[in-house]
Amino acid sequence: MYTRLNEIPVYESREGEIEARYFNRVQIALKRLEKEIRLVIPDLKHLDLILQKDAWIIVDRVHNDVPIAAWSDFETRNRGSLHEPIKCLLRTYHRAADMILEKTLETMDEIIAEDLAEGRAEGGRSVLPFPRGK
């Protein structure tokens, strides 16, 4: 479980929204593939996306997985329908983080859709298992 979100100073924290298509696909992937997923984002050379039930974190793997941005505190209670955006808390840890948010979500959606269609899990090309603690 990635827990560094609370250890690193936050550059900016604000209300955010995740499109329902992204949120729904991640929830399916977390149920079908792994409870925690780590994706390599090919277009963002040294950044990975860690997907957990309670947070999605963009990390810089070159700098010991320091967070770049994170979506958390998803408001799913009393959700009226599956097509409505999900309100959340968006925290950025780098001044330029906003520049990669949309690209990260788009790439994540493509990778997960492909992996779900092919039934990939451990050993797959795109979805990497999250390292377990000691």
pLDDT at residue 123, rounded to an integer: 44
Amino acid at the residue 69: A
Asked whether residue 129 is domain-assigned, the answer is no
Candidates 22, 27, 2, 29; CA nearest to 121 is 29
**Quick check: is 130 in a domain?**
no
Q: Is residue 29 in a domain?
A: yes
The whole domain housing 107 covers 4-118
Continuous H helices in 1-134 = 20-32, 101-118
Is 71 inside any structural domain?
yes
20 belongs to a structural domain: yes
Closest CA to 112 of 53, 58, 49: 49
Cβ–Cβ under 8 Å, residues 37 and 127: yes
Highest mean pLDDT among 43-47, 62-66, 116-120: 62-66
Residue 128 has pLDDT above 80, yes or no: no
Q: Which residue has the higher pLDDT, 120 or 43?
A: 43
Please report whether residue 84 resides in a domain: yes
Strand, helix or coil at 71? strand
Q: Is 74 within the bounds of a domain?
A: yes
pTM score, two decimals?
Answer: 0.83
Rounded-to-integer distance, Cα 73 and Cα 18, Å: 11
Tell me what pLDDT residue 133 has: 62
Predicted local distance difference test score (pLDDT) of residue 119 = 66
- C-alpha distances in Å from residue 61, one per residue of 46, 49, 95, 102: 6, 10, 18, 19
Average pLDDT in the chain: 86
Across 53-61, average pLDDT: 94
Q: In the chain, how many domains are there?
A: 1
Kindly state whether residue 127 falls inside one of the protein's structural domains.
no
